[in-house]
């Protein structure tokens, strides 16, 4: 570490001011524009670079210099912006005692004691998220604490914060992204902003910019989607980058270099896309995804995109719009094969239906939500056995096979390789206007044998899937009806012979299916319009024929669903693309989903060859 960037506990030195143009040429930033505004500060500002300052002169200067933009300017109510979307394992209550987060000034004795404790901890304990956020809080408090701390304590505090900000090896980015961005990005930026007169702080803009930009480029894909492994850190990172963007903006500067700015703007869009009707980020349960109106409002403002303004007004609580105009905005669904993330969403509104999937590692994480309410949330796994032997999983993640999105349907297909030349192909289909969701696994094998398939869909907290007495349908509900689930591979009536069963367990909705192999198809059909799901419903397995002969469900499967006056057809070939007949019509595809129009004719939602 270069000595020119350090300030020890015994000395306090100034740095010469330079214009913004000079700073860019020298790749060094200084926020010190305040000196020229008040002549009575000349003794400090005119001090030669490197001159040791008198403590009384310094504290007087800090009290009298023009006001510096602080967190209060973006604080709503009593909630500090430093508390926006904290990682869920952090204790917000204990953090509230920090000086920067207190509603009243800290006393000299309390401040000195707290500083000494923190300095001891930062030198003795591993760098945790708590210590990192505490460092940010101390940095924001540093100018005010100069009047309340003894000289030696204040110098030791600022010196330690500066050393921490410049320690590029303090924490690896890909191992602890949030802590890395707080310490190597946001912390040096705050010190540069608050104490630009100090030689130890004046050169911190460049390393801050480099670290923050690297975070955006390394953790997000080209359109703002975080890698699936960092999904739970999306909220804390958005908060960090938004505070940083706002802070640099106070100096009419951009802290994100290269493509970093574009990545940030895309992240704002993806954060809105991932928001449920209650403002919570889907597939989160703790503080890391909670609704933070001040954060999202500032992020949307900083993104500068009119579409984001309209989208936020439609999807966030108290946004002002019931639904964004159809066709006037970008598609509500998106996915990233690089990130292993799919965000299916029916529309830009608080009542939207959505399905989020994280599939870059096993087990897959999934959430089905309608409006404010999550129906399915957690790990979605499956097991396959052949002739009584459970087949091991060979892959460490699902592999994307197909993604398709248009006005009629949003569709994701994934594949997972198992042992013994067997594989599972998983389908996730959301039809926005129809209000239906299809979740299906196709087990495909090269060898015959008795197949046993089981999957568990994790029901969200407070959600039940209530079985019916005489039929195999299930009603999704909390204190009210939210939709229905139809296990299409099972007969409608329990009185008929069935190849499987489903039940609600502590783990969720457990669905089992048997087949004679070499393949089987296990589709679950969800009606997500509660009012419609109260209407009379029925489903039937359809006859599929090939060369005038009926084929078994292990070769191809077709199903027809009717709810009230609306009907749909699902077809899946388990032996590739073969010319077959279904309902008297030729089908030449591997998968198709159709609906019936008001005249009784079929309309294709999707067909895959």
- Residues 345, 352: contact at Cβ < 8 Å? yes
Residue 295 placed within a domain: yes
Residue 584 placed within a domain: no
Tokens 């089905």 belong to residue: 368
Residue 370 φ then ψ, to 5°:
-130, 115
Whether residue 306 sits in one domain with residue 339: no
Whether residue 250 sits in one domain with residue 123: yes
pLDDT at res. 360: 96
CA distances from 525 to 85, 212, 440, 493 (A): 35, 44, 8, 16
Provide the pLDDT confidence category of residue 91 given band limits of 50, 70 and 90. Answer: confident
Distance from C-alpha of 348 to C-alpha of 328, rounded to nearest angstrom? 11
Assess whether pLDDT exceeds 70 at residue 93. Answer: yes
Distance from C-alpha of 382 to C-alpha of 528, rounded to nearest angstrom? 23
438-467 mean pLDDT: 96
pTM of the model: 0.91
Residue 555 placed within a domain: no
3-state secondary structure of 602: strand
Taking alpha carbons only, the member of 350, 356, 347, 349 closest to residue 274 is 356
pLDDT at res. 14: 58
Average pLDDT, the chain: 89
pLDDT at res. 97: 64
Whether residue 349 sits in one domain with residue 269: no
Q: What is the CATH number of the domain that holds 394?
A: 2.70.98.70
Residue 554 placed within a domain: no
**CA angle (253, 225, 273) in 5-degree steps:** 95
Assess whether pLDDT exceeds 60 at residue 32. Answer: no
pLDDT at res. 39: 33
Assess whether pLDDT exceeds 90 at residue 162. Answer: yes
- Residues 280, 291: contact at Cβ < 8 Å? yes
Sorted by sequence, the CB contacts under 8 Å of residue 499 that are 6+ apart come out as: 489, 490, 513, 514, 515
CA distances from 28 to 199, 203, 207, 304 (A): 11, 5, 10, 27
Whether residue 45 sits in one domain with residue 150: yes
Provide the pLDDT confidence category of residue 102 given band limits of 50, 70 and 90. Answer: low
Q: How many Cβ atoms are within 10 Å of 231's Cβ, its own excluded?
A: 24
115-125 mean pLDDT: 94
Whether residue 271 sits in one domain with residue 189: yes
Whether residue 341 sits in one domain with residue 309: no
Provide the pLDDT confidence category of residue 53 given band limits of 50, 70 and 90. Answer: low
Axis-axis angle for helices 260-273, 306-315 (nearest 10)? 20
pLDDT in tens, 3-20: 333 333 345 565 554 433
Provide the pLDDT confidence category of residue 78 given band limits of 50, 70 and 90. Answer: confident
What are all long-range contacts of 205-208, with beta carbons under 8 Å and residues at least 24 apart? 205/23, 205/28, 205/29, 205/30, 205/253, 205/255, 206/27, 206/28, 206/29, 207/165, 207/166, 207/168, 208/165, 208/184, 208/244, 208/255
Residue 603 placed within a domain: no
Helix (H) or strand (E) holding 452: strand 451-457
Which of 534, 557, 580 is at the close of a domain? 534
Whether residue 294 sits in one domain with residue 227: yes
Whether residue 368 sits in one domain with residue 285: no
Whether residue 461 sits in one domain with residue 426: yes
Distance from C-alpha of 519 to C-alpha of 100, rounded to nearest angstrom? 62
* Number of compact structural domains in the chain: 2
Bigger pLDDT: 298 vs 530: 298
Whether residue 365 sits in one domain with residue 295: no
Residue 131 placed within a domain: yes
Taking alpha carbons only, the member of 291, 239, 238, 273 closest to residue 344 is 273
Distance from C-alpha of 63 to C-alpha of 204, rounded to nearest angstrom? 23
CA distances from 101 to 92, 98, 298 (A): 10, 5, 19
pLDDT at res. 411: 99
pLDDT at res. 105: 59
3-state secondary structure of 330: coil
What's the start-to-end Cα distance of the chain, in Å? 60
Axis-axis angle for helices 151-166, 108-124 (nearest 10)? 30
Which of 502, 534, 566 is at the close of a domain? 534
Structure tokens at 440: 């299906």
pLDDT in tens, 366-412: 999 999 999 999 999 999 999 999 999 998 999 999 999 999 999 99
Distance from C-alpha of 515 to C-alpha of 556, rounded to nearest angstrom? 12
- Residues 489, 523: contact at Cβ < 8 Å? yes
Q: Is 527 exposed, middle or buried (0-12, 13-18, 19+ CB in 10 A)?
A: buried
Which of 286, 315, 344 is at the close of a domain? 315
Taking alpha carbons only, the member of 551, 542, 540, 543 closest to residue 578 is 551
Provide the pLDDT confidence category of residue 601 given band limits of 50, 70 and 90. Answer: confident
Regarding beta strands 537-542 and 602-608, do their DSSP bridges make them parallel or antiparallel, or are they unpaired?
Answer: unpaired
Residue 217 placed within a domain: yes
pLDDT in tens, 493-546: 999 999 999 999 999 999 999 999 899 999 999 999 998 978 999 999 999 999
Q: Which domain range does residue 77 map to?
A: 3-315
Residue 609 placed within a domain: no
Whether residue 366 sits in one domain with residue 515: yes
Whether residue 437 sits in one domain with residue 371: yes
């Amino acid at each position: 570490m270069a000595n020119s960037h350090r300030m020890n506990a015994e000395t306090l030195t100034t740095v010469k001011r330079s214009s913004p143009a000079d700073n860019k040429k020298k790749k060094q930033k200084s926020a010190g524009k305040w000196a020229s505004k008040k002549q009575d500060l000349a003794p400090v500002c005119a001090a030669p670079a490197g001159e040791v300052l008198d403590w009384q002169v310094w504290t007087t200067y800090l009290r009298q210099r023009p006001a510096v933009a602080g967190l209060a300017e973006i604080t709503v109510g009593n909630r500090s912006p430093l508390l926006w979307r904290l990682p869920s394992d952090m204790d917000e209550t204990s953090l509230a005692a920090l000086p920067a987060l207190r509603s009243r000034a800290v006393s000299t004795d309390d401040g000195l004691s707290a500083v000494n404790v923190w300095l001891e901890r930062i030198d003795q304990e591993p760098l945790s998220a708590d210590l990192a956020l505490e460092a940010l809080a101390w940095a924001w408090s540093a100018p005010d604490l100069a009047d309340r701390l003894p000289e030696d304590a204040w110098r030791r505090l600022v010196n330690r914060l500066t050393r921490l900000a410049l320690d590029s090896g303090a924490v690896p980015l890909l191992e602890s992204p949030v802590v890395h961005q707080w310490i190597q990005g946001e912390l040096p930026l705050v010190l540069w902003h608050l104490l630009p007169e100090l030689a130890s702080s004046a050169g911190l803009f460049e390393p801050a910019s480099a670290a923050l930009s690297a975070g955006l480029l390394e953790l997000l894909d080209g359109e703002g989607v975080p890698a699936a492994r960092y999904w739970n850190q999306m909220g804390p990172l958005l908060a960090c980058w938004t505070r940083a963007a706002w802070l640099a903006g106070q100096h009419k500067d951009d802290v994100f270099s290269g493509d970093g700015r574009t990545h940030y703007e895309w992240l704002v869009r993806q954060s809105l896309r991932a928001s449920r009707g209650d403002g919570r980020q889907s597939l989160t349960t703790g503080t890391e995804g909670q609704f933070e109106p001040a954060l999202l409002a500032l992020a949307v403002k900083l993104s500068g995109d009119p579409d984001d303004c309209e989208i936020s007004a439609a999807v966030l609580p108290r946004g002002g719009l019931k639904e964004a105009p159809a066709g006037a905005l970008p598609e509500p669904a998106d996915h990233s094969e690089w990130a292993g993330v799919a965000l299916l969403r029916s529309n830009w509104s608080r009542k939207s239906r959505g399905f989020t999937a994280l599939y870059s590692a096993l087990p897959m994480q999934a959430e089905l939500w309608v409006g404010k309410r999550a129906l399915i949330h957690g790990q979605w796994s499956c097991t396959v056995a052949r002739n009584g032997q459970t087949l091991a999983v060979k892959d460490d993640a699902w592999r994307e096979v197909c993604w398709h999105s248009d006005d009629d349907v949003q569709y994701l297909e994934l594949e997972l390789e198992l042992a013994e030349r067997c594989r599972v192909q998983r389908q996730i289909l959301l039809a926005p206007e129809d209000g239906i969701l299809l979740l299906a696994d196709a087990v495909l094998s090269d060898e015959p044998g008795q197949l046993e398939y089981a999957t568990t869909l994790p029901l969200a907290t407070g959600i039940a899937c209530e079985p019916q007495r005489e039929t195999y349908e299930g009603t999704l509900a909390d204190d009210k009806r939210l939709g229905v689930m139809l296990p299409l591979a099972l007969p409608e009536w329990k009185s008929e012979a069935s190849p499987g069963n489903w039940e609600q367990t502590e783990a969720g909705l457990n669905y089992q299916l048997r087949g004679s192999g070499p393949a089987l198809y296990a589709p679950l059909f969800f009606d997500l319009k509660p009012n419609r799901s109260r209407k009379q419903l029925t489903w039937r397995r359809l006859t599929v024929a090939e060369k005038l002969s009926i084929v078994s469900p292990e070769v191809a499967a077709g199903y027809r669903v009717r709810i009230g006056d609306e009907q749909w057809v699902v077809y899946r070939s388990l032996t590739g693309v073969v010319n077959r007949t279904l309902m008297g019509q030729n089908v030449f595809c591997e998968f198709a989903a159709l609906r019936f129009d008001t005249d009784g004719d079929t309309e294709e939602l999707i067909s895959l060859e």
